[in-house]
């Protein structure tokens, strides 16, 4: 007798169908799209990568980053002017992880490396603001979109790794990131406010970016034990993305097994995502659910 499919199994099947439909339209917009395809064994059409490569080649001929309209939502501050360091990292990761060597990769890597400041941080937001104000002087008074310097650091470092580059000062980058660890073990960048006046992001996301960035630098938090203790003390509820963020952070710290209990996968079987089978693109919640499940399963390997 065939095993009854769980809600999680059915959600995975829906996710696979949506992803295949998305790729049939030659759309691959995020690095996690590619990661999800690998997790599910879904082939990425060569034409989708070819389109992305052509876009990179055309846009980096005039700017040091992939700039312009595409299948990506508009940046809330810059519109189609640029997509920021996160999107630069996405382009680089998709191409490199698909076996493509991006054109002008040394120039793009040098541009990213040059955004590192003497204190070790990466001034990515400031650089994109500068470029935007050069192009659109009438918009010079427009408020910058809120961001996290820790998120920027992780994106810059991972883009450099993908492009074969290095930070200008590895030790300064490590020291700067470590300096943002709070007494409770978490990490928090300088807080900026969103359009509604609320703080951008939260300590959990900043902590994920911090431990990822440190790992990319072959380093750890100054106090990894306290960071792990803080993470394990969080109550992220049943919401998928915070659960993924917590699991991913603990995985980087080699402490995921301390969070996973004997009933974790049983509870995960009841998880439902990818409800809209006719959705044009896969949601990040689907990636977060499947990635977290795979992380948990690998603990038994």
Identify whether 2 is part of a domain: no
Q: Tally the C-alpha atoms within 13 A of residue 158's C-alpha that lie toward its C-beta.
A: 25
pLDDT band at 269 (very low <50, low <70, confident <90, very high): confident
Identify whether 174 is part of a domain: yes
Domain ranges, residue 152: 7-298
Q: Is the pLDDT of residue 71 over 50?
A: no
Q: Is the pLDDT of residue 84 over 60?
A: yes
Place of tokens 């050069």: 134
Q: Tally the C-alpha atoms within 13 A of residue 23's C-alpha that lie toward its C-beta.
A: 17
> If you count them, how many residues does the chain have?
301
Question: What is the dihedral sign for C-alpha 85, 91, 95, 100?
Answer: negative
Q: What is the pTM of this model?
A: 0.91
Residue 89: the pLDDT is 93
Identify whether 1 is part of a domain: no
Asked whether 112 and 88 are in contact (CB, 8 A), the reply is yes
Number of domains in the chain: 1
Identify whether 289 is part of a domain: yes
Burial class (CB in 10 A: 0-12, 13-18, 19+), 115: buried
Identify whether 57 is part of a domain: yes
Question: pLDDT tens digit string along 185-212?
Answer: 999 998 777 667 777 889 999 999 999 9
pLDDT band at 59 (very low <50, low <70, confident <90, very high): confident
Identify whether 177 is part of a domain: yes
Collapse the DSSP code of 35 into the 3-class scheme (helix H, G, I; strand E, B; otherwise coil) and give the result.
helix
The CATH number of residue 16's host domain is 1.50.10.20
> What do you get for the CA distance between the two ends of the chain, in Å?
27
Could you give phi then psi for residue 199, rounded to 5 degrees?
Answer: -60, 140
Beta bridge partners of 193: 199
Q: How far apart are CA 30 and CA 286, in angstroms?
A: 13
């Amino acid at each position: 007798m065939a095993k009854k499919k769980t809600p999680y199994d059915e959600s995975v099947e829906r996710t696979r169908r949506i992803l295949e439909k998305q790729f049939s339209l030659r759309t691959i917009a995020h690095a996690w799209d590619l990661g999800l395809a690998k997790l599910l064994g879904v082939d990425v059409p060569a034409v989708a990568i070819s389109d992305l490569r052509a876009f990179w080649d055309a846009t980096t001929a005039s700017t040091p980053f992939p700039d312009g309209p595409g299948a990506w939502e508009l940046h809330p501050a810059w519109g189609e002017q640029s997509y920021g360091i996160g999107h630069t990292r996405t382009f680089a990761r998709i191409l490199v992880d698909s076996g493509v060597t991006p054109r002008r990769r040394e120039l793009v890597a040098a541009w990213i490396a040059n955004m590192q400041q003497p204190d070790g941080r990466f001034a990515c937001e400031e650089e994109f603001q500068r470029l935007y104000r050069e192009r659109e002087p009438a918009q010079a008074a427009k408020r910058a979109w809120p961001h996290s310097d820790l998120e920027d650091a992780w994106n810059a470092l991972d883009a450099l790794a993908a492009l074969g580059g290095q930070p200008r000062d590895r030790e300064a980058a490590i020291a700067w990131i470590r300096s943002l660890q709070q007494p409770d073990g978490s990490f928090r960048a300088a807080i900026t406010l969103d359009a509604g006046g609320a703080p951008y992001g939260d300590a959990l996301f900043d902590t994920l970016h911090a431990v990822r960035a440190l790992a990319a630098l072959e380093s750890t938090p100054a106090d990894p034990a306290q960071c792990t203790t803080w993470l394990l003390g969080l109550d992220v509820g049943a919401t998928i993305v915070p659960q993924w963020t917590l699991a991913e952070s603990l995985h980087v710290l080699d402490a995921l097994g301390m969070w996973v209990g004997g009933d974790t996968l049983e509870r995960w079987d009841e998880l439902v995502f990818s409800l809209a089978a006719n959705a044009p693109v896969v949601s990040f919640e689907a990636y977060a659910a499947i990635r977290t499940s795979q992380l948990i399963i690998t603990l038994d390997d």
